[in-house]
Amino acid sequence: MPEPHPAAPAAAIADPRPSGPPDLRGVACTACGRVAFPAQDLGCERCGADGAALRPAALAGTGTVAAAAVVRRHDGPGIDAPFTALAIVLDDGPFVHALLDGDGGPAPGTRVEAVAAGTDGDGAIVEVRFAVSGDAAGGAA
Ligand SMILES: [Zn+2]
């Protein structure tokens, strides 16, 4: 049986705020304005501009569920089921996939917000999940 790949070094993907969901570390393209998450320096996913055209952008950790799927069985090592995979449209634009912090399958249109689900030894947020928020459906902060 092959050995699992060693875990890649964790990198911070979000920054805590005094209150509310953490800010997500995204990037904005200076050539076309496209905003993306997570941050990367490979180049713009829309216009292909060189990675030097990308600037860090703090994105609100809030969004709306586009789709949800409850995974009841997973064969991956160390992955406990059930869990819920979400497709989310962030309020700042990017479409992301993330896990639900909680149970069940929220309906499309449900408001969600990021929660820190993992930190490194220095307290940097290296894993983010999304929880159902108290906002009214479709409302933006
Ligand atoms: Zn671009």
Q: What does pTM read for this prediction?
A: 0.84
- pLDDT top residue among 121 and 66: 66
Nearest-CA neighbor of 21 among 121, 111, 136? 111
Structural domain spans, the chain: 14-132
* Residue 93: predicted pLDDT: 95
Nearest-CA neighbor of 133 among 17, 13, 21? 21
* Residue 76: predicted pLDDT: 87
Neighbours of ion ligand 1 (CB under 5 A): 29, 31-32, 34, 44, 46-47, 49
* pLDDT one-digit tens code per residue, 80-107: 899 999 999 999 999 999 999 999 999 9
- The model's confidence at residue 108, banded by pLDDT at 50, 70 and 90, is very high
Q: Which residues are bridge partners to 83 per DSSP?
A: 71
* Residue 11: predicted pLDDT: 87
pLDDT at 141 over 50: no
* pLDDT one-digit tens code per residue, 28-87: 999 999 999 999 999 999 999 999 999 999 999 999 999 999 999 999 888 889 999 999
In whole angstroms, give the CA distance from residue 74 to residue 79.
7
Could you tell me the distance, in angstroms and rounded to a whole number, from the CA of residue 59 to the centre of ligand 1?
A: 17
